[in-house]
Amino acid sequence: MKINKLPTGVPGLDEIVGGGLPEFSFNIIAGAPGSGKTTLAHQFVFANATPERPALYFTVLGESAIKMLRYQQQYTFFDPAMLPGSIRFINLSQVVLEKDLGAVLLQITKEVEKSNPAVVVVDSFRTMIRKPESDLDLQSFIQGLALFLASWQATTFLIGEYAEEELHDNPIFTVADGLFWLRQTAERNSIVRKLQIIKLRGQDSVPGLHTFRITDAGVQAFSRTFGLTGHAKNPPSHRRLCFGIPELDKMLGGGVREGDSVLVAGSSGTGKSVLATQFIAEGIRHGEPGIVAVFEERPQAYAERAVSLGLDLETPQKDGKLKILYLRPLDLSVDETMHSILDAVQKIGAKRLVIDSLAGFEMALSPGFRADFRESLYRMIFALTGIGVTILSTVEVDESFTEFPFSTYSISFLTDDIIRLRYVSIDGQLRKIMVVIKMRGGNHAKDIREYEITSKGVVILGERLTNYQGLISGIPVHSDRSDSTEEPPLDTGIERKT
Amino acid sequence: MESPSLRVYEKLRQSLGEFVGVVGFQSLASRALTLARPEAPSLSAARVTSDGSLQGLGEIETQIDMDKDRAGEGGIILIARLLGLLRSFLGEALTLSLLRNAWPSEAFDDRNSVHGRKA
């Protein structure tokens, strides 16, 4: 028998709980005040209540019902027309204040038998323990309530204020089928909200801490699996995606392999963003929609800069072929960023994605997420390339004349292809060179090529630099060698895309 | 005989009491009475008890029943202030929903509201 799953009404949460909340389950939403417990319960109620099988929302002590509804109705999910036909709010404060837990249970039983609800919420059940009764009393109450509500085919939420240290060895939690823990922590000047499904019987929920945000639409959760659970991984592609820079595409053996993660590394002013813009523009020219995630400048500025390279990013934006995402800085989580990117990918069917830049991306995250940046990038790149998106990320590296680093994040292993840009001192000039460091999917040229940034973007000059030694040190030495500069043949064995 | 205003008040007490609790309703009603008194001096003797019920209104209305023009005016003002409070806290749509719940057989419309149909 398959257990029926109910929509949670919380965007992103269905994925996390394994497709929906088990019908007739008995759940506890726990967390500190202000962590979003009541809002989450309201979303579930509004998503599932009907006039035939209404929701009963029992308020106890704590937040007054009027104030609660006053604030809750600010959320877009709140439909006043559902009150009181589909959703009934019942205040139990008098019973709690004047009587005991047995009387509370009796009152709930009476109301449930009268209304035949599909959903029951007790908010907050923790405030019922104000009298110095034993834990056993409360446990008996919870046990009785759980048994009764399950028999009456109601899916139940008990809401309680709990501190982190109360999580362990609490017999109350043993009774529950589902335990949702909401956390809100301050990280320097950022507030980060995280949700954990501690337990959920009979469901393959996604483990770990998932970030969530409370917006005017209520709680929105961002799964660590980025909503891609069940998505088949795209088979490896042999298509090559060009930059539209003939010499560079040749160096790459025809372009980067579709579904690759490409890292363009270089110091400030070496043209990383220019290269990224050309990559996106070339894709659009070939009918491959693209997304540019920018963190350091506004989309308008990004598009305007492209004009100076002879690239029109305005028209494809209007035509739905390009989306430039400006992601809110300073308190993002990677999961949230991914949600925005995936949303855009699905909307326009994007094939290419530019992240410009990783340093900006890292800065946009709240401090706690920066610590996990490498792990987060790994999850993100794996997820996006898995659905066939080709990612080009730019990264600024500190230029050194003794070393040749590929990135400041030690993330080279996460990328399939690396293109390194750098300055070199030649003949009294600071020139730029480019080299393809690595291509996981095939052969590539080993040439070190000089390039310039012109009004047409990146232009590779002449042949490979054969008359210098130590180019990658940035301070090459002119050699008298006059070997042929004829290009070695590339045998990629891969279909080239023009 | 119970006055019409008192009947309406009692109905609201029962209906809203379930929703906001006895203490919640008592607070609302006390506030409404305070707001209504300056407009209706006849309410000066009325008071809201701890269970939210109203004392003193029925007697007053019976006394002034002789003057038909002012009959029940204090009670009406009190009910109006109570509904006004609900409206300011919950908004028009939700207030109407709660009233429909209290008087399910009555046809409510919001003809007097800025959103409602014009009379």
Residues of B in contact with A89 (CB under 8 A): 18-19
Residue B19 and residue A73: Cβ atoms within 8 Å? no
What backbone torsions phi and psi does residue A362 show, to the nearest 5 degrees? -60, -40
Which band of pLDDT confidence, cut at 50, 70 and 90, is reported for residue B29? very high
Q: What is residue A283's three-state secondary structure?
A: helix
Supply A249's token pair.
Answer: 């595409």
Q: Is residue B47 part of a domain?
A: yes
Contact list, B20 vs chain A (CB under 8 Å): 64-66, 91
**How many whole angstroms separate alpha carbon A136 and alpha carbon A131?**
13
**Test mutation, B15, B20, B92, chain A, max A CBs within 10 A:** B20
Identical topology for domains A5-222 and A240-478: yes
Q: State the pairing for strand pair A209-215/A190-200.
A: antiparallel
Of B22, B89, B101, the CB nearest to A66: B89
Could you tell me if A422 and A432 are in contact, meaning their C-beta atoms sit under 8 angstroms apart? yes
Nearest C-alpha in A relative to B15: A90
B49 is in which domain, residue-wise? 4-102
Question: CA A179, CA B105: separation in Å to the nearest integer?
Answer: 42
Q: Residue type for B8, please?
A: V
Question: How close A269 gets to chain B, by Cα (Å)?
Answer: 56
pLDDT over 50 (residue B66): no
- pLDDT score, position A359: 86
What is A5-222's CATH number, 3.40.190.10, 3.40.50.300, 3.50.50.60, 3.30.300.30? 3.40.50.300
Chains A & B: contacts with CB separation below 8 Å? 58
Closest CA to A240 of A252, A258, A262: A258
Is B40 part of any domain?
yes
How far apart (Å, rounded) are the C-alpha atoms in residues A46 and A54? 10
Q: Where are the domains of chain A?
A: 5-222, 240-478
CA distance B39 to A275: 75
Does residue B112 lie within any of the structural domains? no
- Chain A residue numbers with beta carbons less than 8 Å from the beta carbon of B28 are 66
**Between chains, do B97 and A84 touch, taking CB under 8 Å as contact?**
yes
What average pLDDT does the structure give for chain B?
A: 81
B116 inside domain: no
Q: Are A326 and A361 in contact (CB under 8 A)?
A: no
Tokens encoding A56: 């009963």
What's the Rg (C-alpha) of chain A?
A: 29
Place of tokens 């994007």: A350
> What class, spelled out in words, does domain A240-478 have in CATH?
alpha beta
A214 DSSP β-pair partners = A219
Name the domain count of chain B. 1
The amino acid present at B83, given as its one-letter code, is: L
The label of the residue with tokens 């004392």 reads: B55
Alpha helices in A152-210 (DSSP H): 171-175
Structural contact between residues A392 and A355, judged by C-beta atoms closer than 8 angstroms: yes
Q: What's chain B's length in residues?
A: 119
pLDDT tens over chain A, length 498 residues: 889 999 999 999 999 999 999 999 999 999 988 899 999 999 999 999 999 999 999 998 766 788 889 999 999 999 998 988 899 999 988 888 888 888 889 999 999 999 999 999 999 877 766 554 555 577 788 888 988 988 899 999 999 988 877 777 777 888 899 999 999 887 777 778 999 999 999 888 888 889 999 999 999 999 887 766 666 666 677 889 999 999 999 999 999 999 999 999 999 999 999 999 999 999 999 999 999 999 888 899 999 999 999 999 999 999 999 999 987 656 677 788 888 888 899 899 999 999 998 888 888 887 777 777 888 888 888 888 888 899 999 998 877 655 666 666 666 667 899 999 999 988 888 999 999 998 987 789 899 999 999 999 999 998 888 888 888 788 888 876 555 444 444 444 444 343
Is residue A104 a contact partner of residue A141, using CB atoms and an 8 Å limit?
A: yes
Measured in degrees and rounded to the nearest 5, phi and psi for residue A95 equal -65, -40
Give just the sign of the alpha carbon dihedral A254, A255, A256, A259: negative
**Quick check: B113 contacting A, CB < 8 Å?**
no
Long-range pairs of A75-79 with CB within 8 A, sequence gap ≥ 24:
A75/A39, A75/A42, A75/A43, A75/A216, A75/A217, A75/A218, A76/A216, A76/A217, A76/A218, A77/A9, A77/A42, A77/A43, A77/A46, A77/A47, A77/A217, A77/A218, A78/A42, A78/A46, A79/A46
Which residue is closest to B101 within chain A, CA to CA?
A84
Give A-chain residues touching B102 at CB under 8 angstroms: none
Instruction: Tell me how far apart the alpha carbons of residues A262 and A412 are, in angstroms, rounded to a whole number.
Output: 10
DSSP-assigned beta bridge partners for residue A262: A392, A417
* Residue ranges of B 8-37 with Cβ closer than 8 A to chain A: 17-24, 28
Q: Flag if A91 and B101 touch (Cβ within 8 Å).
A: no
Please check whether residue B45 touches A, CB under 8 A: no
H-state helical runs in A52-178: 65-72, 93-98, 101-115, 135-151, 171-175
User: Which residues of chain A neighbour B22 with C-beta distances below 8 Å?
Assistant: 91, 93-94
> Does the residue B108 lie in any domain?
no
- Give Cα A275 distance to the centre of its chain: 25
Residues B48-66, mean pLDDT to the nearest whole number: 73
Q: Which of A107, A62, A57, A61 is nearest to A83 (CA)?
A: A57
Confidence label for B109 from pLDDT (cuts 50, 70 and 90): low
Check if the beta carbon of residue A46 is closer than 8 Å to that of residue A84: no
CA–CA separation, A234 vs A384, rounded Å? Answer: 10
Q: How many residues does chain A have?
A: 498
Q: Rounded to an integer, what distance in angstroms lies between the CA atom of residue A449 and that of residue A291?
A: 28
pLDDT in tens, B14-23: 999 888 888 8
Is the distance from CB of A194 to CB of A347 less than 8 angstroms?
no
Say if the Cβ atoms of A80 and B28 lie within 8 Å: no
Chain A touched by B108 (CB under 8 Å): no
- Given a contact cutoff of 8 angstroms between Cβ atoms, the answer to whether A390 and A262 are in contact is yes
Q: What is the C-alpha to C-alpha distance for residues A345 and A486, in angstroms, rounded to an integer? A: 41
The maximal CA–CA distance of chain A, rounded, in angstroms, is 99
